[in-house]
Amino acid sequence: MVAVGSRAGRALQMAEAMFGGDPRVSGIDYGYAHKEGARTRRLAIRIHVSEKRPPEHCKLHELVPPTIGGIATDVIERRYQRAGGGEGNELAARAVLSPGLSLGNPKARAGTLGLIVFEKETPVVLSCHHVLAGQFAEVGDPILQPPVEAGGAVPKDVVGKLKRFFPPGPAGDAAIADIDPAHLSNPSIPGSDVVLHATGTAFVGLELEKVGATTGTTRGIVEGVGGHYRILPEGYVIPGFQIGRTANDGGDLSLPGDSGAVWYHRAAAVGFGIHVASSVDDSGHAFAVACNLEPALEALGVSITAEPAG
């Protein structure tokens, strides 16, 4: 979280004005600077670029100054690719829908059931737009579990229908689907049995975890907040936060099929973001990008807990 009107907030606004319109800029945020590929504890205004170039190969307006608004800058080479696709690691159809399962719209890409959320008292499925909807989506499209990438087919694997979505952008990358009456739902997150009861705003240094359909449970630390990220291949821009690996966590932070998983704090049972994309640096370290959970829920007209009727 970067407070509006704070020195960092004003510097971020300046950075957005200077570099936000450049298609080669893949992100702008405030967070940990990197040195020789390693995360440091120094905070900076971070300009993410698809490719670093020597200063002599840049035009004057492309050069990032050493400070913006009195805060040091850092240039990071990253390309954020949406994390849809793949088969997931749970290939069998499930009668009870719960977070972490692989699913998708046949018109889109396979991804992860992020949460069971609620429209008043009615449970619905939450995931990314590029998982439940896609470019050619229509309300009522069938949602399959498992998805077509894992052998799912209509009508035998239909678990619901696309209910509501919005184009990826200022509210994030998200959509919801009705649950077929033949299927039950369980909002608890597997492996921890946590049921999220609130949403929060991420801040630098916060340690979170997610349950992706491909990678299972992975943990990361919030490295950057307050800015925006450009998601390939479409190139749409979403606000959110960026996550890096914790010091003692091995394995892959993100793989294709993890899109839609929710980043949450286990002890607090609070959700913070929807996993959208990932990047890998030259040393093989993976990074993730999430859109903010609360504005996505608001845009979809749902809440993280059921609201009693009346």
Question: What string of H, E and C letters represents the secondary structure of the chain?
Answer: CCCCCCHHHHHHHHHHHHHCCCCCEEEEEEEEEEECCEEEEEEEEEEEECCCCCHHHCCHHHCCCCEECCEEEEEEECCEEECCCCCCCCCCCCCEECCCCEEECCCCCCEECCEEEEECCEEEEEECHHHHCCCCCCCCCEEECCCHHHCCCCCCCEEEEEEEECCCECCECCEEEEECCCCEECCCECCCCECCCEECCCCCCCEEEEEECCCEEEEEEEEEEEEEEEEECCCEEEEEEEEEECCCCCCCCCCCCCCCCEEEECCCCEEEEEEEEEEECCCCCEEEEEEEHHHHHHHHCCECCCCCCC
pLDDT for position 119: 95
Mean pLDDT taken over the chain: 90
Q: Let me know: does 117 contact 302? Beta carbons within 8 Å.
A: yes
pLDDT for position 309: 57
Confidence band of 4 (pLDDT split at 50, 70, 90): low
Average pLDDT, integer, range 9-20:
93
Predicted confidence (pLDDT) at residue 2 exceeds the cutoff of 90: no
Predicted confidence (pLDDT) at residue 260 exceeds the cutoff of 80: yes
Contacts with 152 (C-beta within 8 Å, 6 or more apart), sequence order: 93, 104, 144, 145, 146
As a whole-number percent, the residues of the chain with pLDDT over 90 amount to 72
Cα 213 from Cα 109, distance rounded (Å): 13
pLDDT digits (tens, 9 = 90+) for 222-257: 999 998 999 998 999 999 999 998 866 667 888 899
Q: Which CATH superfamily does the domain covering 79-305 fall into?
A: Trypsin-like serine proteases (2.40.10.10)
Per-residue CA distances from 19 to 6, 63, 277 (Å): 20, 10, 21
pLDDT digits (tens, 9 = 90+) for 150-171: 899 999 999 999 999 999 999 9
More confident residue, 281 or 66: 66
Least confident range from 67-81, 82-96, 130-144: namely: 82-96
Average pLDDT, integer, range 259-279:
97
pLDDT for position 248: 61
Confidence band of 61 (pLDDT split at 50, 70, 90): low
Q: Is the dihedral of CA 96, 97, 99, 100 positive or negative?
A: positive
pTM value is: 0.94
Confidence band of 116 (pLDDT split at 50, 70, 90): very high
More confident residue, 221 or 86: 221
pLDDT digits (tens, 9 = 90+) for 295-305: 999 999 999 99
pLDDT digits (tens, 9 = 90+) for 175-202: 999 999 989 999 999 988 899 999 999 9
Give residue limits of the domains in the chain. 7-77, 79-305
Cα 276 from Cα 229, distance rounded (Å): 10
Contacts with 175 (C-beta within 8 Å, 6 or more apart), sequence order: 126, 127, 128, 129, 131, 132, 133, 137, 162, 163, 164, 165, 166, 300
Per-residue CA distances from 233 to 19, 80, 274 (Å): 20, 9, 18
Predicted confidence (pLDDT) at residue 204 exceeds the cutoff of 70: yes
Predicted confidence (pLDDT) at residue 31 exceeds the cutoff of 90: yes
